[in-house]
Amino acid sequence: MRNRRAALATIAGAVSLALTLSACGQDSGGSSESGGTIGIALPTQASERWVTEGKSVVQDLKAKGYQAKLVYGEDKPATQVSQIDNLIKQGVDALIIAAIDNKSLNDVLQQAADAGIPVISYDRLILGTKNVDYYVSFDNEQVGRLQARYIIDKLGLEDGKGPFNIELFAGSPDDNNTKYFFDGALTLLQPYLDSKQLIVRSGQTELSEVTTLRWDGPTAQKRMSAILAESYGSKTVDAVLSPYDGISLGILSALKADGYGSGSKPLPVITGQDAELASVKSIIAGEQSQTIYKDVRQLAEVAADMADNILNDKTPRLNSRRAYNNGVKPVPAYLLQPTSVDKSNYDLVLVASGYYTAAELK
């Protein structure tokens, strides 16, 4: 590590350092007796989860004696590329990256490799490059399965109830997780679509038809409004598969604007993911039905441990039976387990674990 830092000193001049700090915005410096500096590039501060885990990763790294430089690309792939480029020029010892666009990082990761900087793909698998060393995430297919299971149980599909109307939403097409969530959910929902116990009135069932660029709530809201106007008439929608809380809230806005949520037109079963505060409050208020809780504090801890191990020439802890193929190579992985949360268990899962205080949920 020290050697790599020395080698990098030539490209990490004072000028580029100053430029980088102002471009990156946040410099979360650690103790002066640092074991090195880790660059952390996360997608956006617009979603709570990334803010929470940005703080967690920085804290965990500091506790291990590292400095951390945390940057957010605000959902702009080109910004993230230049932020990572700046981190490399500053001479970071390792990179922890949650990609905005999983295929846009190939060139900048080649620079990282040339500088001997190891890369951890955080939450989202980076595709199309050999220059990614490890992958740490949740079991993303299980996320989709839990969302589908919730819909199946709430509608009573296993008891033969139906037919019901459902609409399908997926995440950003440039995020590799999108496919895992959708495939996981469809594995369980497909038999009911085939038997017509579930009907998609919009006809939009292919992943390419149901994605939501950058996981954007207003984009999902527009799509839901259009579907209600074009495909529903006097019919009502009974369930919506939503992959992420921000999208769920957008869908809810469209539904409410169409009169759902009042006596004669109850809100459909609507899933989500990330247990973001606004969505947990919505669940308590009886609007969004469910979310997936992923303890991102644990994800942060595993990533910090991995970085520490790599930089000390130890093999990081891995727990996934399969390495994840990123199109170029199998990337060894550590996967955490997600938990389904609704009105019946949010107290136990979210408050008892200290993820939220009871006061925050008021």
Please report, as ranges, the residues that interact with ligand GAL according to CB under 6 A: 47, 49, 123-124, 171, 175, 177, 215, 244, 273-274
CA distance linking residue 302 with residue 80, whole number of Å: 23
Collapsing DSSP to helix, strand or coil, 12 comes out as coil
Q: Is there a contact between 172 and 211 (Cβ–Cβ < 8 Å)?
A: yes
DSSP state at residue 212: -
Residue whose CB is less far from ligand GAL, 215 or 346 = 215
Phi then psi for 163, rounded to 5 degrees? Answer: -75, 150
Q: Is there a contact between 180 and 144 (Cβ–Cβ < 8 Å)?
A: yes
Among 92, 126, 127, 128, smallest CA distance to 112 is for 92
Report the nearest approach of ligand GAL to the CB of residue 134 (Å). 17
Residue whose CB is less far from ligand GAL, 135 or 215 = 215
CA distance linking residue 306 with residue 263, whole number of Å: 52
Collapsing DSSP to helix, strand or coil, 309 comes out as helix
Kindly provide the residue ranges of all beta strands, DSSP E only, lying in 75-228, ordered along the sequence. 94-97, 119-122, 134-138, 164-168, 198-199
Name the residue type at position 335: L
Collapsing DSSP to helix, strand or coil, 157 comes out as helix
Report the nearest approach of ligand GAL to the CB of residue 297 (Å). 14
Report the nearest approach of ligand GAL to the CB of residue 59 (Å). 20
Residue whose CB is less far from ligand GAL, 75 or 238 = 75
Q: Which residues contact 161 (CB under 8 A, 6 or more apart)?
A: 155, 197
Residue whose CB is less far from ligand GAL, 57 or 311 = 57
Residue whose CB is less far from ligand GAL, 171 or 268 = 171
Residue whose CB is less far from ligand GAL, 192 or 293 = 293
Residue whose CB is less far from ligand GAL, 198 or 251 = 251
Report the nearest approach of ligand GAL to the CB of residue 61 (Å). 21
HSE-CB at 77 with a 13 A cutoff on CA atoms is 15
CA distance linking residue 242 with residue 249, whole number of Å: 9
